[in-house]
Amino acid sequence: GAGVSQSPSNKVTEKGKDVELRCDPISGHTALYWYRQSLGQGLEFLIYFQGNSAPDKSGLPSDRFSAERTGGSVSTLTIQRTQQEDSAVYLCASSLTSDRAFAFFGQGTRLTVV
Amino acid sequence: AQSVSQHNHHVILSEAASLELGCNYSYGGTVNLFWYVQYPGQHLQLLLKYFSGDPLVKGIKGFEAEFIKSKFSFNLRKPSVQWSDTAEYFCAVNAPSGNTPLVFGKGTRLSVIA
């Protein structure tokens, strides 16, 4: 596609349920990022996929959070046993692999845990 | 690890006023620097970027930023703001190697009043 696509755009879930958020990066982009945006907290880095390298998971807030990237393209962020503090906008971005690349962002998934 | 500080959380300006948003980063090596903007209801988009060369970079919509290596700063400026510049502005940094994720500051909300 022309841009980074995320689905769903909005998700309301009950506390304790698992959720999956999807990201389709721009075709050919080997780097993919997940961020969480909360009011007053800016963009919190979650995880970074770069080509075939092991992902940088240093930003994942707990073991309830995990992410996969299949075939070097689509990525899924999974949050298990959701808590109210997980409510936020989850943003995905992708970029080329070069020392002068910059990231393109999707519209985000707004997650509300009730 | 890299970190980014944006000292202004919310800036309110009248139209035609000059703007300067502060950004300081913490990283000992060579860096790529970015400013992203998020207009209300829209996704993050790149405003300008610095990779190397002239430390004064110009972006879209009349924005510019100056990289001062000795101060680890990359402040954003615009000589005369417009109401349409109302948005949230994020400074970001990564290393040119491509092996480090893009790290963002907490953002500065700019409100331009008529």
Within 61-90 of A, beta carbons closer than 8 Å to B belong to: none
- Establish if A20 touches chain B: CB-CB under 8 angstroms: no
Asked if the bond preceding A8 is cis, omega within 30° of 0, the reply is yes
The arithmetic mean of pLDDT across residues B78-82, rounded, is 97
> Strand A109-113 vs strand A10-13: parallel, antiparallel, or unpaired?
parallel
Whether residue B88 has pLDDT greater than 60: yes
Predicted pLDDT at A1: 53
Cβ distance of A31 and B32 shorter than 8 Å: no
- At residue B17's C-alpha, the angle toward residues B46 and B106, to 5°, is 40
Ranges under pLDDT 50 in chain A: none
The backbone region for B16, taken as left when phi is positive above 0, alpha when psi lies in -120 to 50, beta otherwise, is left
**pLDDT range class, residue B38, cuts 50, 70, 90:** very high
Q: How far apart are CA B108 and CA B41, in angstroms?
A: 16
DSSP class of B100: S
Q: Cα dist. B68→A62, A99, B106 in Å?
A: 37, 20, 20
- A40 vs B67: which has the higher pLDDT: B67
